[in-house]
Structure 1
Amino acid sequence: MIPIETIGLFLTASIALALVPGPDNIFVLMQSAIFGRKAGLQVTLGLCTGLIAHTLAVTLGVAVIFQTSALAFNVLKFAGAIYLLYLAVQAFKSKPVHQEGQQYPSLSWRQLYLRGIIMNATNPKVAIFFLAFLPQFTNPVLGSVTTQLLALGGLFIVSSLLVFGLIAWFSGYLGEWFKASERAQVIMNRVAGTVFAGLALRLAVSER
């Protein structure tokens, strides 16, 4: 069993890392501000599902492939960059809606959930980060390293769910304000498009 001191240190580090501005929490903030806090929470669930995949990848050793294979790393990161560019184009193309007789555009639960999964799963740097971060808190003397990695991955996911959920909730207040103003909607869509394009560029030029 992992010592309580190690768990406390790990949770502190995980929450701190989740709070540091990065692609995932910025993505949650933008989606929540545009589509509402419920949408942000749905995206958060998708992102955390992606973290489950990364946890399993590290546990099974698959993440090593992305660390050692330039081709695998580049294929995955460009797939993620292309998807972010697609979201950027959609944001720039979005039109403001009038308050009378129209509903603010929304996405289905499935669409938002898949956005979160794709956003997280197509970032090879997350897999490599997990590969470097999780093993630091394991100890073969305490038993199965595989079990420890799965437990630590679960704790990291819970931490991310908490932080991203709070970001989604409070960002939803921005969404309520934007819905009341067509000009604010235009500005928000352009900001979102720029942010998504910036994240795509950042991912495309990233190195292992």
Structure 2
Amino acid sequence: MSPEFILTSLIVVASPGTGVLVTLAAGLSRGARAAIVAAFGCTLGIVPHMLAAITGLAALLHASALAFQIIKYAGVAYLLYMAWMTLQERGTLRVEAEGTPRSDAQVIWSAVLVNVLNPKLSIFFFAFLPQFVGATEPQPLRRMLELSLAFMVMTLTVFVLYGVFAAAVRRHVTSRPSVLAWMRRAFAAAFMALGVKLALAER
């Protein structure tokens, strides 16, 4: 695995995006365990895009304006929904006690949707992975799977670090209502901004 692939992947993974926001919000609102679960969900959401790229479906998505638009606007709607729920104190940044029962499946499902409903990820994988598979590679499919799994491991690791850091400062944030209110508005604005950015995205 080339240093170029590792460096490029780390830059992509560490760049602020919806997955990072979801993981940070989980850590701030529900603690380290929820952040790790959210990080796992965000990583799991990469799988459909990875499979699409490997099987060539991403090329079809890139070629089909209708398919791209449907997925894109579903993603936009979900991001705006998350922004609204965050402002209403019922969504991503809803503060809960450490022991408050909450389904891991709910956290994972929300995190998975964030990445699944982003068609740019499929196109990113379609353009990104082949660059690191040599023309003389005897088993290109296996190589793409290895690179994809490495990318997922890096995603999970970086997101867990983000989430655990957020959980570490959780008490300092949640004990100050004014700070929490500001962060809630900031997260909602970030989700809205990402929704607008996705809405303006072209194939």
What does residue 193 of structure 1 align with?
188
- Answer yes or no: is the 8 Å Cα contact 1:54–1:126 preserved in 2: yes
Are 1:92 and 2:87 counterparts? yes
Q: CA 1:161–1:9 in structure 2 vs 1: closer, same or farther (change >3 Å)?
A: same
- Give the gaps of 5 or more residues in structure 1: none
Distance 1:84 1:158 in 2: 25
Distance 1:94 1:26 in 2: 16
Are 1:206 and 2:195 counterparts? no
Instruction: Render the CA deviation track for 1:57-91: whole Å, top value 9, x for unaligned.
Output: 11111111221111111110111111111111111
Instruction: Render the CA deviation track for 1:112-165: whole Å, top value 9, x for unaligned.
Output: 111111000110001100000000011242312111111110011011111111
Distance 1:59 1:52 in 2: 10
Give the alignment's TM-score, normalised by structure 2.
0.88
What does residue 43 of structure 2 align with?
48
Q: CA deviation at 1:103?
A: 4.2
Q: CA deviation at 1:21?
A: 2.4
Amino acid across the alignment from 1:65: L
Distance 1:103 1:38 in 2: 12
* Segments of 4+ moved more than 3 angstroms: 102-107
- Secondary structure at the aligned position of 1:21 is classed as coil
Are 1:108 and 2:66 counterparts? no
Give the alignment's TM-score, normalised by structure 1.
0.86
Distance 1:154 1:56 in 2: 11
Amino acid across the alignment from 2:29: I
- Answer yes or no: is the 8 Å Cα contact 1:78–1:204 preserved in 2: yes
Distance 2:16 2:97 in 1: 31
- Answer yes or no: is the 8 Å Cα contact 1:36–1:176 preserved in 2: no
- Give the gaps of 5 or more residues in structure 2: none
Q: CA deviation at 1:194?
A: 1.4
Say how many residue pairs are matched: 198
Alignment map for 1:117-196 (pairs within 5 Å): 117-196=112-191
CA RMSD of aligned residues (A): 2.1
Q: CA 1:195–1:31 in structure 2 vs 1: closer, same or farther (change >3 Å)?
A: farther
Q: Identity of paired residues, percent?
A: 30
Distance 1:28 1:103 in 2: 17
Q: CA deviation at 1:176?
A: 2.0
- Secondary structure at the aligned position of 2:46 is classed as helix
Q: CA 1:119–1:93 in structure 2 vs 1: closer, same or farther (change >3 Å)?
A: same
Distance 2:97 2:22 in 1: 23
What does residue 83 of structure 1 align with?
78
Q: CA deviation at 1:23?
A: 2.8
Distance 1:188 1:20 in 2: 19
Instruction: Render the CA deviation track for 1:88-109: whole Å, top value 9, x for unaligned.
Output: 11111118xxx9xx94777421
